[in-house]
Structure 1
Amino acid sequence: MAHVPQIKIPATYMRGGTSKGVFFRLQDLPPAAQVPGEVRDKLLMRVIGSPDPYGKQIDGMGGATSSTSKTVIVAKSSRPDHDVDYLFGQVSIDKPFVDWSGNCGNLSSAVGSFAVASGLVDASRIPQNGTVTVRIWQANISKTIIAHVPITNGEVQETGDFELDGVTFPAAEVQLEFLDPADEGEGEGGGSMFPTGNLVDDLEVPGVGTFKATMINAGIPTIFVNAEDIGYTGTELQEAINGDADALARFETIRAYGALRMGLIKNIDEAAKRQHTPKIAFVAKPKDYVASSGKEVKASDIDLLVRALSMGKLHHAMMGTAAVAIGTAAAIRGTLVNQAASGGELNAVRFGHPSGTLRVGAEATQANGEWSVTKAIMSRSARVLMEGWVRIPGDVI
C-alpha cells in the first residue's frame, strides 16, 4: 500500500497577549491554500489538529482551548498606507470548520512583530533602536490596527518587564491602536455600533428568560448582560462555569438569540457554525476577588468586573477584541458596561477578569444621535515560541 508523505510549510508559533497561534506568510502556503476556500480550511484544521472528537488536539499544534486553536495569515498589503494584511482563522476544536467572522485582538499584538521579522515591512523604516509603527489591515473585519513594535539592535525586542495578567512571564510591551473599531458591517441597524438602535435592550431568550442586554459592534460583536440577572457575581473563575454543562448551554442559547437580534445570523441554527462571533460577556460592579493565579484583586483597584466566553467556554483572561468592546461600551453613558463602572464619562477603564486586571481606553463621540469611536487603545506583549516548518499529511490538500 502506497503512503503519502508529509509536506512541510514554513510557519511560526507565536504568543500574542493571552493567546497562541500558528502564523504563516501567505506566500509560503501551498498555491491552492493561498486563496480562501476548502483547501485552505482543511490545511489549517490539520495543522491545528481539528476536528478532534476527543477535544485534545493531540495530533496538531492546537492547545484544545479557544485561546490556542488559532491561525494567522499575513501578507504584504496592497492597500494604501498599510504595511500588511492580516487574516485570522479561529479553528473549531471538535467540529470541521474555521470561523473567519472576526478578529483576534490578542494575536493582533503579534502581527506587527511577525511582519517585521518576516521581512514584510520595508527595512528602511526599521530603526536600529526605538519603535517601528506597523499599519495593519485586519482583513476579517476591514479595519486598521496600528502596532508600535519595539526594536533593539535592529531586531524586534521580545523580552522586557511588561507584565500582563494571564501571561506568566514578563515581555516587551506592544502598544495597539484599533482605529474606528465599531461597525463591522452587519446587523439590523445597517452596520451601526448598536445594531438594534438601543444602548440597552430586553433580550428575550425562549426557555431561559428575558435579560437586559447591551449589544455592540466594536472590536468584535459582543452581547453584555448583568451578572446578577443570570445568577452570578462577576467574580467567577473558569471552573465555576466551564464545569457546568447546563450553564454553558444557557450561555450558548443567550448568545444565539443575541446573534439573531443583532442580525448576525438569519436563524438560530446558524449560531452553531458561527462560534467566534458574537461574544457573550457578563458585567458587575467592582468586588474583591482572588484571581486564578492567587493574586488578590481589590475592588478599589478596578472600575468593574467582566467575564467573557469564547468558543463556548469562559475565557481564562479576556479576548483583546472583547476588551475593545468593553472600553467602547464603557465610554458610552447608559450601556450596561458603563453602568457597572458607575456611569459618567469614562475615557478608560480597568476591569477585573479571571486572571487579573486589564486597562483599555476608548474615545467615543455622539453626533446626530449616532455614536462613533475613533480608536481604542491597549497594551499587550508578544513572543516567538518556535519557528521553522509545520508538517501535515500530503493527502490533506
Structure 2
Amino acid sequence: MPSDSVAAFRAAEYGEHPVLHLDSASYGLFPRRTVAALHDLAERRNRGGSIGDVDLDRCLDRARRAAASLVAVDPSEISLVPNTTYGIHLGVGLVAAGPPGVIVVSEGEFPANVLPWMALESRGFEVRIVPLRDGLPDEEALRRAALESGVRALAVSAVQFNSGYRVELGALGEACRRGGTLFVVDAIQALGTLRLDAEALGIDVLATGAQKWLLSPWGSGFAWVPARHRERIVPPVVSWLAVEGGSAFSAAAGYALDYLGDGRRFEPATLGTQDYLGMALSIEGLMEVGLDSVRDHLRGLHAVVQEWAAGRDEVRVIGVADPERRGGILSLALPDPEGARLALEARDIAVAVRDGLLRISPHVHVTEEEMVRTVEALDDAVRR
C-alpha cells in the first residue's frame, strides 16, 4: 500500500491520464501545481508590461533552494544549469585544472558521462573504461582504480540508465578521498527517488537534469560544486550575469571579469525562468511527500513486476535482489523487448527499451492496480 503522503500527493496533483506513463526515466509528468505555475507565468508575461527582475530572481532563488534540499548542501553552492552535460563539464573543468592523468568510467555509462571526458584526451588525459561484471558496474574494480597513482577522477552515474542499478556512492567516495581522486557523479536517474547527501558521500561535482524523476521541464537542472573547488574551475560559459554588478544592466561600470562568489558564477547567462520555477514547484512537492516514502512506493510497484517475472522462465529481472541497490528503474530481459514495448503501447502503457532491455520506470502517480494491469499486458505479450 502507498504511504498516506504518496496517496495524498497523487490525488491532489494527478488526474486520470489516457496513457499509463511508466517511463519517468525518460521524462516525468508535471504535478498540477507545476502546470499552474508555468501557465500563470506565461499569462503574466503575455499581459505585457514588466514582470519585474526581482520576481524573476525570486523564481531562480527558489529553484536553488529546492535543489539544495535534495542533496543536503547550501543553496549558495548550487548552479542552475540546463542539463546534466553542462554540469559534467564543470567536473571536466575541475580535472583539467590539474596535470594530465587517468579518468575512470564504467562500461555501460550513459554517453553524457563519458564523451565530455574523452574530449580531454587531446590534452594528454587517458579515459579508462572499466568492464562490467555480470552486466553491472564492477564497483570493486572502480574502487581499486580510484586508489591508483595517476588516476585524477572517477565519474559514475548514481543509478544506471539501462539497468536501474544503484552504485554504492559512499564506498566509491571513500576510495576517492583516500586516493586523492576527484569524484564526479551524474545523478539524473537518482534524484527524486532517493536521498543523497553530496558532501557526506565525498562527491566533488554533482550534475543532473531535472526532467526525469524530478518531474520538471526540459531545460532545467542543476550542478553542485562545493566552495573548496569553486576558484579552480574556469566557467565553461562566460556570462554577464555571473560577474559582480552584472544584474545592473549597465555598461557604465565597465567590463571587469569579477566572478560572483557563489554557484551563480557557473550559470550560462539568461536562464529559462519558467523552467526553473517549474523545477522548484515539482521538487517542493516531492519533498513534501518525503523521498523515503517515494522510495518505498516505487519498491512496492517494482514488487508487482518482480513477482510476475519470478514465474516466467523466459523473463529475468536485471540487477540485484537487494532493493537498496535499485533506483526507480526496473529492467527486464525477455525474448522480444521491442515487441513487448509495442504490445504495451497498443494498450496505452508507455515504457522504453534501452540496451536491449525493457525498462519500466513508474513514479508517484502510478498505483499498484495499474502495475497489475501492466503485468497482465506483459504476460499476454510474452505468451505470443
TM-score normalised by length of structure 1: 0.26
Higher helix share: 2
Q: Which has the higher contact order (CA 8 A, sep 6+)?
A: 2
Higher strand share: 1
TM-score normalised by length of structure 2: 0.26
